[in-house]
A = this chain, B = another copy of it.
Amino acid sequence: MSDRSRNWWGWGWAEEALGDDEVAGLAQMVRERFADRDFSVIPAPDIAEVGLAPPRVDVPAALSGLVRTDDEDRARHTYGRAYRDVVRAVGGEFAHPPEMVIRPGDEADVVSVLDWAAEAGVKVVPYGGGSSVVGGVGATIEDAPDGWVSLDLTEMDRVLEIDEVSGAALIQGGALGPGIEAQLKAHGQTLRFFPQSFEFSTLGGWLATRAGGHFATGPTHIDDLVESMRVVTPAGVSESRRLPGSGAGPSHDRAFLGSEGALGVITEGWMKIRPRVGWKTSAGVEFTTWNDGVAAARELARSHLQPSNCRLLDAGEAQLSLGVEVGALLVLGFESAGEPLEAWMQQALELCFEHGGAAPGGVTTSSPTRDEEPVGDAGSVEAWRSAFMRAPYLRDGLIRCGVLIETFETACVWSDFDELHTQVTNDVLSALRGIVGDGQISCRFTHLYPDGPAPYFTVMAPTRRGSEVAIWDEVKTAASEAIGRSGGTITHHHAVGRDHHRWAQTQRSEVQRQMLSATKERLDPDALLNPGVLVDRA
């Protein structure tokens, strides 16, 4: 697919990581924002200097062809790609790496690995693209005192079957976003599931974490796009029938959506696909105030219009990601495979104008022409998307010059939103002021439901060398407590992992914790899978 290589310590492609000069430039920009701090550039880490402890477990002979134990691979699989992970990696801190990385080639291999692990008393952490920002794909010493292996599924990366009549494809769990799209494109089809981690996350990872997708409204979560799944659990294989809808008891697939590798390994899924997009129309709508933008977003979400894109950025976000000075900016778009969308955009704009919005850049529309590729994104949507995909590389650069930069997200009902927004903003700023004396927070909506938004916050502050993780921990706690107190969920689409576990448990009633435990004990009686995630450690 590419001769680029994956960065073993930070986000994405090694070749796309910011160079020292670019990081120095970032440091200069940050100095203007936060005066009188140490923003000197930390060098990128060198794998030769890291010195990982040798594996504590022997490579199983029968699986040896699937196993790698070299330092770079083990280091790359030690963490996900959260702020804290990159801080530790840049600092050369790899105290508890996996003993080995195992890459199964098929479902039988997955079964063999689980059998071996049960025998050997070794924990297994399923690993897709490794892009977790919530501590979902590593293990602490408490999680796995006798060692753990990283089960990297990315060799299982094929689209096995396409049913164009129904609009569905059978895809292996280890397929990364670009591989899925490339294989579907040959048939004029698309899954159209584009999280920020698109290039570095897998179908199985999306399903295991209930990932949020491309569309701002309507069916967009991976939950909405799955017909059926196969999941290898230590107790056997769960397999569901391909069905567009069923009322035959509770959905078993729903028990695995969000199971985060703690109940089983998702090996394949029948996914709803669609013909590639032909028609697109987009506009950037500016509002004088955030509240006007929120009111317009709420009405759009409650209308029958269902825009494909409907991302509301506050002033800080618009400035950060697009360099636009505005009270609030709504990035609005519609798309369809086969029909024009003028009426949709017109009704949506009228609704925005009633809330004081203006669209100074007009509407950008593209339509298909025969023998041509389906159209690309256009206008505001394109500008927004390009900044969005670049953001994690920038984050890694900022980490290297001593900036705390963190994003977190939630969802709440509309009636709770104003209070949640105020509390989260105030509590985070107050924590930052108390700890590091400065900082900023901004907000956007990533997804909209008729009954509420999914707000996404970006925090940026100076931090102190050597105390990055402790400071992050305090800020994260302030944010998470404020979210819980004001009616939000601890995560809308980033998942729970180890970082959100205690708040996710608080969010459940005792009976619900019992339900999860009962399922875990039945499916994974030896607690092999992703320890420390989903249920309390045994």
Q: Is B414 in contact with A166, judged by CB distance below 8 angstroms?
A: yes
A111: Cβ under 8 A from any B Cβ: no
Is A168 on the interface with B (CB-CB < 8 A)? yes
Tell me the A90-122 residues at the B interface (CB within 8 Å): none
Q: Does A40 contact B (CB under 8 A)?
A: no
In the complex, chain B residues whose CB is within 8 Å of the CB of A218:
218
| A390 within 8 Å of B (CB atoms) | no
Interchain nearest-CB distance for A507 vs B (Å): 6
Q: In the assembled complex, how far is the CB of residue A512 from the closest CB belonging to chain B, in whole angstroms?
A: 4
Interface status of A255 (Cβ within 8 A of chain B): yes
Rounded to whole Å, the gap between the CB of A536 and the closest CB of chain B is 13
Asked if A291 lies at the interface with its beta carbon under 8 angstroms from chain B, I say no
- Known contacts A304-B339, A489-B246; A252/B212 CB under 8 A: no
- With a CB–CB cut-off of 8 A, which chain B residues contact A517? 522
A490 CB–B CB distance under 8 Å: yes
Cβ A491 vs Cβ B248 within 8 A: yes
A contact residues, total (Cβ < 8 Å):
95
Residues of B within 8 A of A452 (CB): 166, 243-245
Residue among A165, A453, A494 with most chain B CB within 10 A: A165
Q: In the complex, what residue of chain B is closest to A484 when comparing beta carbons?
A: B241
Cβ of A251 within 8 Å of any chain B Cβ, yes or no, is: yes
| Stretch with Cβ within 8 A of B (4 or more), from A256-264, A324-332, A421-429, A462-470 | A256-264
Q: Chain B nearest CB: distance from A172 CB in Å? A: 19
Q: How many copies does the complex hold?
A: 2
Known: A258-B251, A306-B306. A413 touches B500 (CB 8 A): no
CB < 8 Å neighbour of A450 from B258, B272, B493: B272
Query: In the complex where A168-B413, A259-B250, A303-B338 touch, is A221 in contact with B245 (Cβ < 8 A)?
Result: yes
Q: CB distance B255 to A255 under 8 Å?
A: yes
CB of A538 to closest CB in B, whole Å? 16
A35 CB to nearest B CB, Å: 38
Known: A244-B452, A250-B254. 15 other contacts (CB 8 A): A165-B413, A212-B247, A227-B413, A227-B451, A235-B511, A236-B509, A236-B510, A237-B509, A239-B509, A240-B512, A243-B452, A248-B507, A250-B255, A272-B450, A514-B523
Residues of A bordering B, CB below 8 Å: 163, 165-168, 209-212, 218, 221, 227, 231, 233, 235-252, 254-260, 272, 274, 302-306, 336-339, 342-344, 347, 411-416, 447, 449-454, 487-496, 500, 504, 507-512, 514-519, 521-523, 534
13 residue pairs A–B, Cβ–Cβ below 8 Å: A167-B414, A209-B247, A218-B218, A237-B509, A241-B489, A246-B491, A247-B495, A248-B258, A249-B508, A251-B254, A252-B512, A272-B450, A518-B519
